[in-house]
Structure 1
Amino acid sequence: MSVQQPDKGTILIVDDSPSSLEALFDFLTMAGFQVLMAPDGESAIEKVKHTCPDVILLDIIMPGIDGFETYRRLKANQSTQDIPVIFMSALSQTSVVVKGFQLGAVDYITKPTQQEIILARVTTHLTIQKLRRSLQAQNEQLQQEIQQRHQAEAALQEANEELSRLATLDSLTQLANRRRFDECLNQWWRILVREQLPLSLLLCDVDFFKLYNDSRGHQAGDECLHQVAQAMKRAVKRPADLVARYGGEEFAVILPNTHGQGALQVAEQIRSSVTALAIAHPNSSISQYVTLSIGVSFTVPCHNCCPEQLIAVADQALYRAKASGRDRAVFIRFSHTQNLERCVYWNTTAIQQQAQQNL
């Protein structure tokens, strides 16, 4: 009882000689290969469309298209261009052999030859082909892993950026939070110290917000703060400016490279934008709607002072805005030599006049 050898690979033999085909078919089949046969180039090309062999033994002298033309057509097809081809021919001229290798053949066997030599050549090139395919598969797997790693790194970077953004974002108002405000103010202070350019700061407080919260409820209070925040954000248009929630019902606006007059104009835009929301506030003693009091400070940063001093002056200006009737802004310029060099009380009908007189 004969034991069938395991399949070692698929070989296509292309030869117009029936006797050569039969002899090689029997020998290579007994050696454990799956063997396909084609009597000419056209039928060989048709056969590989259905079954892709691992190696092709290709005769050169055949009726119809010869072996060279058959190989050119195989090389022109992406699905068959990488199949190793071994030319077989009685032609032994150097020019013919060189032409075969120039076309891309992996080997050239001169007829007649011993079957053992064919087996050795076929086995060698099958091994090379398997190694090449294995290497190609490993490279593809490596490329896939690299791509997946890049995608994972990009996703991680995006997640980290989102976490960083959320870490500096106030969840209720979607404005910058106090941490981001402190970072931004210190960054701009260092830059403007070096460039000797102005810096303005606005501190804004929702008037009588505790009364609003107590009468309307915390949910309505949160919605009020959110609407006020978005109105402020729309009013502050420059990319470098920062609107932040300073704490509770207080907001802050950093205006780099902005003098006092420009800061007062921004303050008016913010105040009028919030009033235009027409959020009803029955418990306010100054208006039927929610309003803002705003403290404005301005300085040219230097090494002899610090951002905290500018904040303190803006806070003092906010206190005076509340004390003088609310729904208004008070401007105090912070001087390095005199904390309260000049104080300007301002209302919405006299902003330009007051700013020109006091800056």
Structure 2
Amino acid sequence: MSQESVSATKGNILIVDDQLDNLRVLSTILMEEGYQVRKALNGQMALIACQTLAPDLILLDINMPDINGYEVCQRLKANSQTCSIPIIFISVLDDVTDKVKGIKMGGADYITKPFQIEEVVVRVQNQLTIQRLQLQLQEINQKLLKQNSLLQLEIEKRTQAEIALQEVNEKLQELALLDSLTEVANRRYLDDYLQREWQRSAREQIPLALMLCDIDYFKAYNDTYGHIAGDATLKRVAKVIKNAARRPADLVARYGGEEFAVVLPNTNFLGSVQVAENIQLQLQELKIAHTMSVVSEYLTLSIGMTVCVPNHQYSPSNLIATTDKALYQAKQQGRDNYYTYIFFSCSCFLAENSDESKILCTELGNR
């Protein structure tokens, strides 16, 4: 491989994975994006490839025989010739401890398998952009030391590069707070947002509602229609929920698997019921076939909700636990419905999806 052929591409990427299918899929994706791609089937081959010609970026699997991805990363970071190469771990290990270990080892990013094509492309582009901007900053600093007469011009260039780098970092931060599949908030952002809204609602003594939505018999749906169809359905359900909870302060997040959470600030019982019914109505209108469901021929949701005015006797963790309990009640009563817990100070009421329950909690304010 000549240096000219490498420079003619968007970047030189080394993919390290002991699974041939993964190598083929990733290399095809990246070559179509205009990158020069090299492949290595194990850690030893990867280390040799980096010494022969340092890549601009490495996509590194963790679970490999002989030398695993963590050790490969550690050796590369300990070598002055390869320590600056950005490494993106790409692995089936999706526990937080695995991701934290990868970052501590020197990884620049972490992608879990099965990966989304768009996510891989964006994260690769971001890391290469960061690397390019960092090199530009290094070149600018060298020129500043050598050319005092051009100091002002070089400072301006550095400022521009730093602004561009900040924009890239902000984009990465935004990606870190989104669920890559459904493009709604992820669990991390949900926890932060719920804590902030809890504190605000407690200060102002206004109602706060939390909703958990679970797709009924989704495992059976995946088994029947396949995971690709399941992923597409998760996106459609997320869009339905966002359409129903559309105020600027409302937050829709993927809680995990086929569960979604909705935070509804300044929302009383009637308001939360309205959102729940709108979600179920819009989902019914889509008529997503689900032949393995025992409650309907179409895809349905079970919803648990809690409405309260926060105080020192109750906490966000209590709110989540209570809402999860309400979701359990909705499932126990046949699914495709909703249950709501309503808290007045220390008192609690459980409201089903019935007309009589709608007279409760009206004094908490209007949605």
TM-score interval for Structure 1 and Structure 2 normalised by the shorter chain: 0.5 to 0.7
Q: Match for residue 190 of structure 1?
A: 199
Deviation at 1:197, TM superposition (A): 1.2
Q: Secondary structure at the match of 2:179?
A: coil
How many angstroms apart in 1 are the aligned matches of 2:289 and 2:330?
Answer: 21
Structure 1 residues not aligned, in runs of 5+: 1-137
Q: Match for residue 355 of structure 1?
A: 358
Residue 346 (str. 1) matches residue 353 (str. 2): yes
Q: What is the one-letter code of the residue matched to 2:350?
A: C
How many angstroms apart in 1 are the aligned matches of 2:176 and 2:271?
Answer: 31
Q: What is the one-letter code of the residue matched to 2:351?
A: V
Q: Match for residue 217 of structure 1?
A: 226
How many angstroms apart in 2 are the aligned matches of 1:195 and 1:357?
Answer: 21
Deviation at 1:179, TM superposition (A): 0.6
The answer as to whether partners of 2:201 and 2:310 remain within 8 angstroms in 1 is yes
Q: TM-score, normalised by structure 2?
A: 0.56
Q: Give the alignment partner of residue 239 of structure 1, picking from 229, 232, 248.
A: 248
Which protein shows a greater Rg? 1
Q: Secondary structure at the match of 2:261?
A: strand
The answer as to whether partners of 1:310 and 1:334 remain within 8 angstroms in 2 is no
Percentage of pairs with the same residue = 51
How many angstroms apart in 1 are the aligned matches of 2:275 and 2:154?
Answer: 53
Q: Match for residue 340 of structure 2?
A: 331
Q: Secondary structure at the match of 1:315?
A: helix
Task: Rate the CA distance shift 1:140–1:304 in 2: closer, same or farther, 3 A.
Answer: farther
The answer as to whether partners of 1:313 and 1:334 remain within 8 angstroms in 2 is no
Task: Rate the CA distance shift 1:140–1:335 in 2: closer, same or farther, 3 A.
Answer: farther
Q: Match for residue 179 of structure 2?
A: 170
Q: Give the alignment partner of residue 201 of structure 1, picking from 201, 210, 233.
A: 210
Q: TM-score, normalised by structure 1?
A: 0.57
Q: Secondary structure at the match of 1:334?
A: strand
The answer as to whether partners of 1:342 and 1:358 remain within 8 angstroms in 2 is no
How many angstroms apart in 1 are the aligned matches of 2:195 and 2:297?
Answer: 38
How many angstroms apart in 2 are the aligned matches of 1:292 and 1:166?
Answer: 27
Residue 268 (str. 1) matches residue 271 (str. 2): no
Task: Rate the CA distance shift 1:319–1:152 in 2: closer, same or farther, 3 A.
Answer: same
Deviation at 1:178, TM superposition (A): 0.6
Q: What is the one-letter code of the residue matched to 1:344?
A: A
Q: Match for residue 248 of structure 1?
A: 257
How many angstroms apart in 2 are the aligned matches of 1:187 and 1:358?
Answer: 23
Residue 157 (str. 1) matches residue 160 (str. 2): no
Q: Match for residue 129 of structure 2?
A: none
**Deviations 1:147-186 (Å, cap 9, x if unpaired)?**
3222212212211211111111111111101111101001
Deviation at 1:280, TM superposition (A): 0.8
The answer as to whether partners of 2:327 and 2:338 remain within 8 angstroms in 1 is yes
Residue 277 (str. 1) matches residue 280 (str. 2): no
The answer as to whether partners of 2:206 and 2:309 remain within 8 angstroms in 1 is yes
Deviation at 1:139, TM superposition (A): 9.1
The answer as to whether partners of 2:213 and 2:259 remain within 8 angstroms in 1 is yes
Task: Rate the CA distance shift 1:200–1:140 in 2: closer, same or farther, 3 A.
Answer: farther
Q: What is the one-letter code of the residue matched to 1:356?
A: I
How many angstroms apart in 2 are the aligned matches of 1:216 and 1:155?
Answer: 44
How many angstroms apart in 2 are the aligned matches of 1:141 and 1:268?
Answer: 66
The answer as to whether partners of 1:204 and 1:318 remain within 8 angstroms in 2 is yes
Q: What is the one-letter code of the residue matched to 1:159?
A: V
How many angstroms apart in 1 are the aligned matches of 2:164 and 2:358?
Answer: 50
Task: Rate the CA distance shift 1:357–1:304 in 2: closer, same or farther, 3 A.
Answer: closer
**Deviations 1:90-128 (Å, cap 9, x if unpaired)?**
xxxxxxxxxxxxxxxxxxxxxxxxxxxxxxxxxxxxxxx
Deviation at 1:204, TM superposition (A): 0.3
Provide the aligned C-alpha RMSD in A.
1.8
The answer as to whether partners of 2:270 and 2:361 remain within 8 angstroms in 1 is no
How many angstroms apart in 2 are the aligned matches of 1:313 and 1:250?
Answer: 16
User: How do 1:111-130 and structure 2 match up within 5 A?
Assistant: none
Structure 2 residues not aligned, in runs of 5+: 1-146, 363-367
Deviation at 1:212, TM superposition (A): 0.3
